[in-house]
Amino acid sequence: MSERPDQRAQPARAAAGRHVVVVGAGMAGVQTAVALRERGYDGRITLIGAEPHPPYDRPPLSKAVLLGQTDSPAFDVDFAALSVELRLGVEVTGLRPDAREIDTDAGPVPYDVLVLATGAEPVRLPGTEGVPGVYTLRTLDDAEQLRPVLARRRATVIVGAGWIGAEFATAARAAGCSVTVVEAADVPFSGALPPEVAAPMAEWYAESGAELLTRARVASVAPGGPGEPGTVALADGRLLPAEAVVVGIGARPATGWLAGSGIALEPDGSITADDRLRASLPGVYAVGDCASFPSARYGERLLVHHWDNALQGPRTVAAQVTGETERRYDPVPYFWSEQFGRFVQYAGHHAAADALVWRGDPAEAAWSVVWLRDGVLVALLAVGRPRDLAQGRKLIEAGARLDRERAGDPAVPLRKAAL
């Protein structure tokens, strides 16, 4: 699981005077620029972002920004003091590795070292492109468009009961909107969690006053007339009135602009990075939501669309660029979600064959589950049990084996279940 046979040698050190271009001004791109300066890199850095806004953090979009509790989630980074050249509102359209240039709508940009941090883009609901009243939630502009929907307490239909759907439903109910969530699978969080874990979480929707419709597929969305709500038609014939429709059915790596560049991509569209986050062309790295990497810990390639990955990966890229070429990237994935009055945390990566052990009753306010692979802790989901998460994350990093009986006793600190 080290590096692919087609991986070419990378420059051992980016000396002063070399130009590092970072494409993508989200968390991964910003942290790459910051990490380079923290490691003493004193060459030129250019950070290119497609949005016109100053670089900002995304987690507040589904919470504080939507509810009008903050206007700007901008990063607290002084780019001028770091001598980082910001080029915002610039769309990158192509990569020409032979010329060591990227093409943008503002002209070509040369590079010596290129970091791809373009993130992910939301999956659109087929047939809804351009339909008034249909929204996604990925950018600051998306959140600002949705803020008046919540402020006016519009009747809202959310398509998709994943993490974004749950967080938006939480904000919409807090704002006083009527909310119906449409999910094609049998349970929420399908694909992320096994049904026996996700099923109790379905009850959170009703507790909040939201209606969750499972095994329901959207056939079409029709806009409303003046003063009239639109209509979401389900495949089974049901019609749902909706003044706003929010689509949260997943995201895919924003890598379409790399077609024909020679950068290797996985079938899911992610950039094929190695365990040092090097892409398949010399002098090119990939980090964050747009890149997948081989995990020796889990024995498979991982694509992690979460904030912590965008925070941790840039440190490895910066180390590579500044000469620490043996540093490898194999983190314990981690994310959190605030929904329906609960703080949900997950660490690790589990497979269907891993043994699931409950810690507590999911009918209670706080509980956890752990996944064991041949007795070794590989993943943990904690609802309102931050101590379980903190201890479990360290145990996963250490490759610890657990006593299954003690691991299943919520009164026993998880660290004391280690053998």
Nearest alpha-carbon partner for 121 in 308, 300, 251, 291: 251
Question: Same domain, yes or no, for 274 and 298?
Answer: yes
- pLDDT for the residue numbered 325: 86
Q: What is the pLDDT of residue 409?
A: 97
Q: What is the pLDDT of residues 246-292, one digit of tens each?
A: 999 999 999 999 999 999 999 999 999 999 999 999 999 999 999 99
**384 torsion bin: left (phi>0), alpha (psi -120 to 50), beta (else):** left
Angle (deg, nearest 10), helices 163-174 and 140-151: 40
- Asked if the structure places residue 278 within a domain, the reply is yes
Domain-embedded: residue 219: yes
Q: Which residues of the chain have pLDDT under 70?
A: 1-17, 71
Give the number of other CB atoms < 10 A from CB of residue 183: 24
Same domain, 115 and 148: no
Q: How far is CA 160 from CA 63, 108, 174, 297, 309, in A?
A: 18, 39, 19, 31, 23
Is 84 inside a domain boundary?
yes
Residue 10 pLDDT: 40
Strands 44-49 and 120-122, how do they pair?
unpaired
Question: Are residues 352 and 288 part of one domain?
Answer: no
pLDDT of residue 63: 77
Total tally of structural domains belonging to the chain: 3
Q: Are residues 289 and 150 in the same domain?
A: no
Which two three-digit tokens encode residue 95? 């990569």
Phi, psi of 270 (to 5 degrees): -75, 150
Cα separation, 233 vs 239, whole angstroms: 5
Do 395 and 388 contact (CB within 8 A), yes or no? no
Which pLDDT belongs to residue 90? 97
Would you say residue 410 lies in a domain? yes
The domain containing residue 31 runs over which residues?
A: 19-121+251-321
Q: Which of these three, 247, 273, 305, is where a domain ends?
A: 247
Query: pTM of the full predicted structure?
Result: 0.92
Instruction: Give the pLDDT of residue 17.
Output: 61
pLDDT value of position 1? 37
- Mark whether 281 and 265 lie in a shared domain: yes
Quote the CA–CA distance of 56 and 355 in Å, as a whole number. 39
Please check whether residues 156 and 241 belong to one and the same domain: yes
